[in-house]
A and B are shown apart, each in its own frame.
Chain A
Amino acid sequence: MKITEELIDHIAHLARLEFKGEDKVSIQKDMERMIEFVDKLSEIDTENVEPLIFMSEEVNRLREDEPKVTVTHEEALRNAPKKDSDYFRIPKVLDK
C-alpha cells in the first residue's frame, strides 16, 4: 500500500506528532515498510474466527465502591511541568 504524504499528515495529526523535512521522508518510508510487513496477516483465513480481545479469563471483577484517597491533590500535581496550588497550568489557549 502506498503511504502518501497526506496520509502521514493525517495520522500524525491523530497521534499529535509532527514530521517535517527529512523526518517526514523517513517516517513515510518506514511506515510503508511496516504496513507491507503487516499486510501478511490478510493471508490467514479468519472466517468465522472471533477476535481475541481479552487475554484475561477473569470476568466481572466487582468490588465495593468505597471512597478512599489513593492519590492526594498535592501528589497528583507533583510531577506537573507547570502548576499553581490547585491546577495544572497550560499555555494560553488563545495565544497565537
Chain B
Amino acid sequence: MYRTIGDVQKAVLSGETVLSIAQAYLQRIEDHKHLNAFLEVFTESVLENAKKVDEKVKNGTAGKLAGVVIGIKDNICYKDHRVSASSKILEGFTSLYTATVLQRLIDQDAIVIGRLNCDEFAMGSSNETSAFGSVENNWKANHVPGGSSGGSAVAASANLCTITLGSDTGGSVRQPASWTGTYGLKPTYGRMSRNGLIAYASSFDQIGSFTNSAADAQLIYELSAGEDEMDATTSSKEVSNDKNAFPEKLKIGLISECVHHEGLDPEVRKNLSELIQKLIDAGHEVTEVSFPFMDYMVPTYYVLTTAEASSNLSRFDGVHYGYRSQDAKGVEQTYVKSRTEGFGTEVKRRIMTGTFVLSHGYYDAYYTQGQKVRRVLKNRTDDFFKNLDLLLLPTTPGTAFEKNAVKDPIQMYLQDIFTVHANLTGNPAISIPFKVHSNGLPYGIQLMADCFQEDLLFHGVKKLEELL
C-alpha cells in the first residue's frame, strides 16, 4: 500500500515497476468496491500507460509523477473516456479532450486510474445526490464521506489512489477532506484552469486536490496551477515557489463568529481552543477579528451559484449530447422531457431557484443584491489580510453524519457554513487533518490566505503541523 507520492517514488527508485504499482492499486480498488467510490476504473488504459511510463523510467526520461496514480472526480474530462457528473443526463458521454489541469499531471507521467463518484453536478454536501448511489465513508460504515467530491475523498483516504482531484465550489473538496482525514486544497480563484471541468458555478468553481500529506498537496498544486489559454479567467500571475521567504512567527486571525459558532461540536470547539493556545505559546500572534456575516454567507452562495448553474446547465438539452427522452414529440418537448427525466431532484431544485433569482422582477432583489453582498464580503476579507498572514477556522461544524440523516435541503446547505467563505471571496484555503473525534470519525481544520498566497498557506500548514 502506498500513502503518498513519496512512497510511490521510493518504490520506483528501488526498482518496482510502474505496472506493478498500478496493478497493486487496481487490486486495492477491487477489494474496496463496497465503498462505491469509483464509477469506472480505466483498467485497459491504466495498464497500457503504465507500460509506457516504465519505458520512460528505463530510459531516464520519466516525469516527476512516474508511478503516481490519480483518480478524478466524475466532472473532470479525460479524452476518450466517459464522464457523467454522476448524472443520468450525461449517459454515454465521452470526453473530446482532457482538462488542462489533468493534462499537466499526465505530462508528468501520472496515470489516471478511474472516475470517482460525486454529488450530481457537484451539487450536494454528502455525495447522496449522485445518480449512481452514495459513497460509504471508509472510516465508519453507513456514514457519508461529505460532498460533493465524496468519491475523491474516500479514494484518497483509503489509499485507492496516490492522489485524487475534486472540484470545490462551496467546500466540495475541503468539507469531505475534513470528514475523511485527508488534505483538501482549494486554490485561489483563477489559479486552476477550469478548461475541461464540467461547470457548476463558473465564478466559484476551482479544481482542488485530495492528498495524504501537505507536501503532496503543494507538489500537485505547483505542477497543475497557472495560466491557460483555454480559460480566460486564469490568472497571468506566475505560480511562484518561494518556500523560504516567510516569517517563523505568523500573524493568525480567528473569526470570532466561527470559533464561537453555536453549531460547533463541543469537542471540536475544545480542541480548537487548545490549538489556539499552542499557537500563542509557540510565539505566533493570534488575534480575534469580527466578520458579522455568518448568517448571510450560505444564502449569498445559493443565490449566486444557483443562478450560474441554471445558466450553465441550459446546455443539457437532449439534442447535442447525453440523455434524450424517448417519448418526446417535437423539439420543445425534447428539451423539457429530456431535462425533467435526466436531472435529479437537487439539480432541478437549484436550476429552479437560479432561474427564479434571474427572472424578470426578481433579478435586482436577489441576483444583483447577491453580487453586492459578495463585494461587501470580499472587501472585508481583503482588509483582514492587510494585517494578517492567515485565517484559522474550523472546516466543518462536526464530523460525518449517517446516511439519510439530513433530509432538509437547508440543513444540508449549512454543512458548508465554514467553507463557502473562500469561494465567495476567491481566497485559497486548505483543510488539513486535525483530530479523530471520540465518535471515531476524523475532522479537519482550515487555513485561508490572501489571494495568490498559496505559498504562505503551505508555510502556515507546516507551522501548524509542528503543533498537532
Interface residues, chain A, with chain B CB atoms under 8 Å away: 7-8, 10-12, 14-19, 27, 30-31, 33-35, 37-44, 46, 49-58, 61, 63, 71, 75, 78-82, 88, 90-96
Contacts and interface: CB of A to CB of B under 8 A. Distances in A.
Nearest to A33: B410
A53 B235 CA distance: 16
Contact of A40 (B203, B296, B356): B296
The majority secondary structure among interface residues of chain A is loop
6 contacts: A16-B314, A30-B409, A37-B298, A58-B232, A58-B233, A90-B319
A93 B322 contact: no
Contacts of B366: 38, 41
B409 to A, nearest CB: 6
B371 A91 contact: no
Given A27-B348, A52-B378, A42 B369 contact: yes
A81 B372 contact: no
B263 to A, nearest CB: 16
A78 to B, nearest CB: 7
Interface stretch (B13-21, B274-282, B335-343): B335-343
A8 B355 CA distance: 11
Interface of B: 92-94, 96, 189-190, 203-204, 229, 232-236, 293, 295-296, 298-300, 302-303, 310, 314, 317-324, 328-337, 339-340, 343, 348-349, 351-353, 355-357, 359, 365-366, 368-376, 378, 409-410, 413, 426
Contacts, number: 170
Contact of A50 (B94, B233, B375): B375
A11 to B, nearest CB: 5
Contacts of A95: 329-330
A80 B339 CA distance: 15
Given A17-B340, A34-B353, A78-B96, A44 B376 contact: yes
Given A14-B355, A58-B233, A88-B319, A38 B302 contact: yes
B435 to A, nearest CB: 31
B330 A40 contact: no
Contact of B295 (A40, A51, A96): A40
B319 A16 contact: no
B96 A55 contact: no
B183 to A, nearest CB: 24
Contacts of A42: 365, 369
A63 B229 contact: yes
A15 B310 contact: yes
Nearest to A49: B372
Residue of B328, B352, B374 most packed against chain A (CB within 10 A): B352
B331 A37 contact: no
Nearest to B408: A33
Nearest to A48: B372
Contact of B94 (A35, A78, A82): A78
Contacts of B92: 79
Contacts of B296: 40-41, 43-44
Given A55-B233, A80-B321, A11 B352 contact: yes
